[in-house]
Structure 1
């Protein structure tokens, strides 16, 4: 579009302004042509890409909703199964847990359901089914490690009498160390396996360590203390005063002094 004539503006300035307007219009026309050419060439592909992206996003939203709903239903079924177990209704608990345990994945709910089913199988004298479930959890590299350790300990405990002592040691020795959450239970089983192997020199100190560990429940510590004593290992810590001196030591010295005076 040409500029209106202005008698007060020098001709050179008017020409420069008109050239600038002309070039801008040409540039806009070129851009419009390029856009029209791009749309005619790639418009359908671009539209298809947008549609696919929207469909994919909608699919993801639907999938996420289904997953959330499934997890909620799974959690509800799990709680109902626990209620049935408390009521000693093992068959009802099994019916609720079986679909959870059969679901894909190795999350805590699925793994816990398998462990509970294994416990139900033991209580129903289905030892083979229980051992199969315990082994499935223990060998699942994607399952939470604490649950894998629990499955390992419970599987060995359930099959201890039928297992070779060395197999018990091999499976549980990594857990039978102070500081491990399963030290008490795993240590007791490993100690009993040592006794079957006539390795009293290894069983005694292990039972003594269990007896001295205050984080372990009292019943297990008491059994370990008795076994250690039978094996000739002291499993009782000395009672000391605030200075670290064994209580009774000064009294013993006083008694010695009295005897000497007499």
Structure 2
């Protein structure tokens, strides 16, 4: 390589270096900002996770303490005093409170706690449907068969976590209203459902036999 070529290369390299430094002086703050945002975002995410975990642990400790009370009414009072940080936590508290109220013989209070969950749009849908189902099974004396049928049908839709249980309640309403044929058909459909539990399978089989039917053998469950 000639001296001229070497000199040209050196000049070219210097020009590139000068341009790079100029670009860094002009736009370097952007790179610094990106680094700060990335580090800050990671730190915020970790803080948020730790905060949520601590909040959940605090709620769990408070619930366990409340459930250690001597009788149902004391447990209801203790659960009532707990502040839940999230809609899901609030729903869990109300489900537990409803259970204790029912244990204390306060059916009206239990239904009120369950209705509060099912009516809260901020609560996850799974809690709302479970609460609505439990409230319906506790409110039979105050509702007509047709009203209960309409509400259980709304819970028996595909994807509902209480769908098969709602179908069982609809079969019981069929029996209550004297439609044995419809009850048998519904109970047999329950036996054939892939989501059936062993307990529900036993109840459905017993009901079919009690109604004079013959359970059809299935491979479900």
Per the TM superposition, whether the score is higher than 0.5 is: yes
Checking the alignment, whether the CA contact within 8 Å between 2:188 and 2:215 is kept in structure 1 is no
Other structure's SS at 1:69 match: helix
Counterparts of 2:207 and 2:190 in 1: how far apart (Å)? 6
Aligned counterparts, 1:199-238, within 5 A: 199-203=179-183, 215-216=198-199, 224=207, 229=210, 233-235=211-213
Counterparts of 2:188 and 2:34 in 1: how far apart (Å)? 71
Match of 2:74 among 79, 91, 104: 91
Deviations 1:153-180 (CA, angstroms, capped at 9, x unpaired): 311111111122122112224649xxx9
Match of 1:77 among 56, 62, 70: 62
1:62 shift after superposition: 1.8
Residue 191 to residue 57, structure 1, CA distance change in 2 (3 Å):
closer
RMSD between aligned residues: 4.3
Aligned counterparts, 1:59-70, within 5 A: 59-70=44-55
Query: Which one has more relative contact order, counting CA pairs under 8 Å at least 6 apart?
Result: 2
Which residue in the other structure is 2:100 paired with? Answer: 120
Which residue in the other structure is 2:140 paired with? Answer: 160
Count how many residue pairs are aligned between Structure 1 and Structure 2.
Answer: 208
Q: Does 1:169 align with 2:156?
A: no
Counterparts of 2:30 and 2:170 in 1: how far apart (Å)? 68
Query: Any gaps of 5 or more consecutive residues in structure 2?
Result: 217-221
Counterparts of 2:80 and 2:34 in 1: how far apart (Å)? 44
Other structure's SS at 2:199 match: coil
Residue 104 to residue 31, structure 1, CA distance change in 2 (3 Å):
same
Q: Does 1:25 align with 2:7?
A: no
Residue 61 to residue 161, structure 1, CA distance change in 2 (3 Å):
same
Q: Does 1:104 align with 2:104?
A: no
Other structure's SS at 1:234 match: coil
Query: Any gaps of 5 or more consecutive residues in structure 1?
Result: 1-15, 239-262
Checking the alignment, whether the CA contact within 8 Å between 2:72 and 2:104 is kept in structure 1 is no
Q: TM-score, normalised by structure 2?
A: 0.66
Match of 2:130 among 141, 147, 150: 150
Residue 21 to residue 94, structure 1, CA distance change in 2 (3 Å):
farther
Counterparts of 1:144 and 1:193 in 2: how far apart (Å)? 25
Q: TM-score, normalised by structure 1?
A: 0.58
1:93 shift after superposition: 5.6
